[in-house]
Homo-oligomer: A and B are copies of this chain.
């Protein structure tokens, strides 16, 4: 599948590398087509990935992954162009973290709205699925690095887009029964707000390499 990955940070590079390993045709998008981080990443993908602007990555992908900083995501997608986003599935892995007051961060949007909903409102023809944002990059693409079962959450308004996302998660190694569909995209509020707890757990644990498992009777 042709995938456009927005963002050259640890999430974009890790997800991009995993997608290439899985045989997908990946374009990594960034603000500048000359982005050195993106080029260095692509040079290690055995010729199976390209780089370019956000618009290039959007045009390339049948499936898109938002791995940009949440506070910048809407502007990034605007620069990609609504016409290139229309009809496509966007897996929104970003969190609207605000580090302007240092650690721990707050959220730029929360409670009565979410980043994922902000994106969906701005691009109604984009099929936004919130997923991946509740774990670090390593766990996203290799859930088996943690012992035993644990869970991935997903939310979105488009069932077919969620099925596509669930397929991607299975490729990453998430068993079908580990993925919890929380319903429509307003559930992204809880998924993003959970990240404030996640950051505290990271600080307390001294590692970002963890996740939660739902325990039921």
Task: Tell whether, in the assembled complex, residue B214 and residue A215 are in contact, meaning their CB atoms are under 8 Å apart.
Answer: no
Which residues of B have CB within 8 Å of A183? 200, 203-204
Interface size on A, residues (CB 8 A): 43
Task: Tell whether, in the assembled complex, residue B150 and residue A215 are in contact, meaning their CB atoms are under 8 Å apart.
Answer: yes
Number of copies: 2
Task: Tell whether, in the assembled complex, residue A213 and residue B216 are in contact, meaning their CB atoms are under 8 Å apart.
Answer: no
Task: Tell whether, in the assembled complex, residue B182 and residue A215 are in contact, meaning their CB atoms are under 8 Å apart.
Answer: no
Task: Tell whether, in the assembled complex, residue B210 and residue A215 are in contact, meaning their CB atoms are under 8 Å apart.
Answer: yes
Which residues of A128-182 are within 8 A (CB) of B? 145-148, 150, 153, 155, 180-182
Please name 16 further chain A to chain B contacts, defined as beta carbons within 8 Å, in addition to the given A181-B204, A183-B204, sorted by A numbering: A106-B112, A146-B215, A146-B217, A155-B200, A190-B194, A190-B198, A191-B197, A201-B214, A209-B216, A210-B216, A210-B217, A211-B214, A211-B215, A212-B212, A212-B213, A212-B215
